[in-house]
C-alpha cells in the first residue's frame, strides 16, 4: 500500500496524537491540515473532502490505536521511523509535549514493534521509576522535626545589636520646626 492509500489512517493517527492530551487547539487544527496537505501535495484549504470529514468527525474515545498501527506493522523499519516522526510533529504542534502525548508516541512505537533505540530521540527522556520515586517522596508527609515525646519550641528571636536599631528622626521630620 502507498502512503496515499493510507491517508485516512494517517489522519486518524495524527488526530489521536493531537487528542492525546485531551485538547484540540486551533494551532493543532492548523498543523494537522498543513501536514496532511504537504503529504498530499495540495494546500490546506484544498484537502480532499474525505480527509476533512475524517478530521471533523474524529472521535478520540472511539479511536483504536492498535488497529491503526496494525496497518503499518509490516512496513520496513525506516518507514515506521518516518511515521513516528510525522506523528511526533503532531504531538509537538501546540508547542508543549506532555506525558500523555509522549505515552501515545511510545505506545504507537510499541505497537509497530519498534525497539526503544529506534525512537528514543523522539520521546521525552525520563525514567518512569525515577518519576514514581519522586512522586512517592512528594506524596508522603515530611518527617517530624523533633523526636517522639519531645516538645517543639519556636526558635529564639534573632539577636539584635541595640545600637544598630537606635534611630533618631531629624528635626522637622513631622513638620515641627522646634
pLDDT tens digit sequence for 36-54: 999 999 999 999 999 999 9
* pLDDT one-digit tens code per residue, 62-102: 999 999 999 999 999 999 999 999 999 988 887 777 788 88
Which residues, at least 6 apart from 128, have a Cβ–Cβ distance to it below 8 Å? none
Q: What is the dihedral of CA 123, 75, 117, 85, to 10 degrees?
A: -30
Threshold 0.75, pTM exceeds: no
CATH fold, domain 4-135, is TerB-like (1.10.3680)
Share the mean pLDDT of the chain: 82
DSSP single-letter state for residue 73: T
Amino acid at each position: 500500500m502507498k502512503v496515499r492509500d493510507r491517508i485516512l489512517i494517517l489522519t486518524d493517527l495524527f488526530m489521536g496524537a493531537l487528542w492525546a492530551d485531551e485538547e484540540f487547539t486551533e494551532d493543532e487544527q492548523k498543523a494537522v491540515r498543513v501536514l496532511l496537505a504537504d503529504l498530499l501535495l495540495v494546500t490546506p484549504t484544498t484537502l480532499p473532502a474525505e480527509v476533512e470529514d475524517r478530521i471533523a468527525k474524529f472521535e478520540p474515545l472511539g479511536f483504536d490505536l492498535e488497529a491503526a498501527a496494525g496497518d503499518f506493522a509490516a512496513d520496513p523499519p525506516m518507514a515506521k521511523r518516518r511515521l513516528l516522526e510525522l506523528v511526533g510533529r503532531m504531538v509537538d504542534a501546540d508547542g508543549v509535549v506532555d506525558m500523555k502525548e509522549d505515552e501515545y508516541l511510545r505506545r504507537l512505537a510499541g505497537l509497530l514493534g519498534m525497539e526503544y533505540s529506534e525512537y528514543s530521540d523522539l520521546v521525552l527522556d525520563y525514567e518512569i521509576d525515577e518519576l514514581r520515586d519522586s512522586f512517592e517522596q512528594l506524596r508522603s508527609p515530611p518527617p517530624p522535626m523533633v523526636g517522639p515525646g519531645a516538645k517543639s519550641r519556636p526558635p529564639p528571636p534573632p539577636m539584635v545589636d541595640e545600637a544598630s536599631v537606635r534611630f533618631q528622626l531629624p528635626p522637622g521630620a513631622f513638620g515641627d520646626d522646634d
